[in-house]
Amino acid sequence: MSNAPRIKAIDALLPQTQCGKCGHPGCKPYAEGIAAGEAINKCPPGGQATVEALAELLQRPALPLAESPVPAQVAFIREAECIGCTKCIQACPVDAISGAAKLMHTVIAAECSGCELCVAPCPVDCIDILPLADAAARAQRARADQFRRRFEARNARLARDDARRQAERQARARPPAAASDHAPVQSAIERVRAQQAAAAPANDHQKRLKIEASMARVALSKAEKQLAARGTPELQAQVAELRAAAEAAQAALVAAEAPPGASAVGVGDDRDALLKKAKIAAAMSRAQLSKAQKAFGAAPTAGQQAQLAELRAAASQAQAHLDACQGTNEASLTPGEQALKQAKIAYRSARDAVREAEDKNAAEHLRQALLASLSAAEQALHAAEAACGKPAPELLRTEKRPIDPALRALKTELAYARAEVSKLQRRVPLDEAALERARTRLAEAERQVDAHAGD
């Protein structure tokens, strides 16, 4: 028998699991090795029956298996635990796993050869190898030709993909084409350059405004740090002035960057969209500042103080942008409204200074001075509200029911009990004893929650 028919005959006797347990990357390479004189007892999935069939074909002695035999089996993915990493798909030699990245995978049982190659790459260990009953095992052995075809088709596909990638790399490495091919690209570049040259004066003005706004924020940040360290009334007044200057610089920058027809006093859908975005940005900036103040606590570190200063500046900028979009600039306000706005800014600055001093446990004399400034700012605000002529807002107070710590603990226990029952119900094989204990725990948690609600 010549070598090619010999290899084909040997390969026909192998189980085609393509598992690699023989030390070769597939059944056909092992067949080639056997034809070259390699031992015939290296196929655990084929078992002793395959060894005897090979011995009869090749007229060799039937050696015992080098390893323990592997019964017919199939892979099973616990789909609830699968994270969609695709590592098992890449490892499967017969393309018997279906799925996509970040989506659930599943094994096509009729296509699975039971090679076990998908188990090791799984990072969450959610793949089980299940033995087959006698009838299913015989049916799997009968599909050996099908496994061979799928293995060869997969190798051909991988070879095509590799050839395509090599061709793409070579195409990228080629020298550039003639200059005439780049004429459209060069024209586009020239158009962009012309547009940039036309917009240069406006861009220069915006750059100056950006620099001024940035310098104002830096000066405000430095003054706030000095106020936090010393806390004198003079520094408090300086911080208020710098904050107003930073807001004005930011408002000027926002006005310069606004496209034509989208001014703060404009009308239409564009203005409404800009106003909505400005409101959202201002609200998010205030929420971030409040969250950071709560997280850093009463004694923030130097780095945390710098973060707070940046968040305050961002909140001020967002508010200035919102004011510009709403048209509440100084020119559009009456004298009474201007005075009211300035009084509100002064009161807010004084209130923030008092809160910051309380959080940092400042000296008593400093806190008293800041409280006096806050009281004066509050009186000035009331006077400005009275002089402005606007009606005072109607306050509506609502009583919030306090959270019961005991009920919260009971509900937490109930949630944990439900999660444990759900987890045990999905486990294979099912642990009846553990599941019964989890159900007892769940029933007790539900009873305690109901009893507490009844009280």
Q: What is the pLDDT of residues 59-90, one digit of tens each?
A: 999 999 999 999 999 999 999 899 999 999 99
The range of the structural domain enclosing residue 432 comes to 405-454
**pLDDT at position 271, please?**
60
Q: Is residue 173, in this structure, part of any structural domain at all? A: no
Q: Are residues 53 and 77 in the same domain?
A: no
Q: Are residues 21 and 53 in the same domain?
A: yes
The model's pTM is 0.41
Segment (H or E) for 77: strand 73-77
Segment 411-452, tens digit of pLDDT = 889 888 898 888 888 887 888 899 999 999 999 999 998 888
Q: Is residue 291, in this structure, part of any structural domain at all? A: no
Q: Is residue 288, in this structure, part of any structural domain at all? A: no
Where is the domain boundary, 91, 110, 132?
132
Where is the domain boundary, 114, 132, 150?
132
Q: Are residues 77 and 128 in the same domain?
A: yes
Q: Is residue 416, in this structure, part of any structural domain at all? A: yes
Amino acid at 398: T
Residues 6+ positions from 369 with CB-CB distance below 8 Å: 233
- Residue 72 in tokens: 């017919």
Q: Which of 81-90, 145-154, 262-271 has the lowest mean pLDDT?
A: 262-271
- Give the residue among 25, 14, 19 at the shortest CA–CA distance from 50: 14
* Per-residue confidence band for 24, with pLDDT thresholds at 50, 70 and 90: very high
Q: Is residue 319, in this structure, part of any structural domain at all? A: no
**pLDDT at position 269, please?**
46
Q: What is the CATH number of the domain that holds 77?
A: 3.30.70.20
Q: What is the total count of domains within the chain?
A: 5
- Residue 122 in tokens: 């799984």
- Residue 36 in tokens: 């070259």
Where is the domain boundary, 132, 150, 171?
132
Q: Give the residue, 256 or 218, on which the prediction is more confident.
A: 218
**pLDDT at position 412, please?**
87
Mean pLDDT of the chain: 82
Q: Are residues 126 and 78 in the same domain?
A: yes
Question: Which long-range contacts link 289-295 to residues 24+ away (Cβ below 8 Å)?
Answer: 289/314, 289/315, 293/359
**pLDDT at position 324, please?**
73
Q: Is residue 304, in this structure, part of any structural domain at all? A: no
- Contact criterion met (CB below 8 Å) for 430 and 439: no
Q: Are residues 349 and 379 in the same domain?
A: yes
Q: Is residue 285, in this structure, part of any structural domain at all? A: no
Q: Is residue 436, in this structure, part of any structural domain at all? A: yes
Segment 363-410, tens digit of pLDDT = 888 888 888 888 888 888 888 888 877 666 666 666 656 667 888 888
- Contact criterion met (CB below 8 Å) for 77 and 127: yes
Q: Are residues 211 and 247 in the same domain?
A: yes
Q: Give the residue, 264 or 213, on which the prediction is more confident.
A: 213
Q: What is the CATH number of the domain that holds 15?
A: 1.10.15.40
Q: Are residues 416 and 375 in the same domain?
A: no
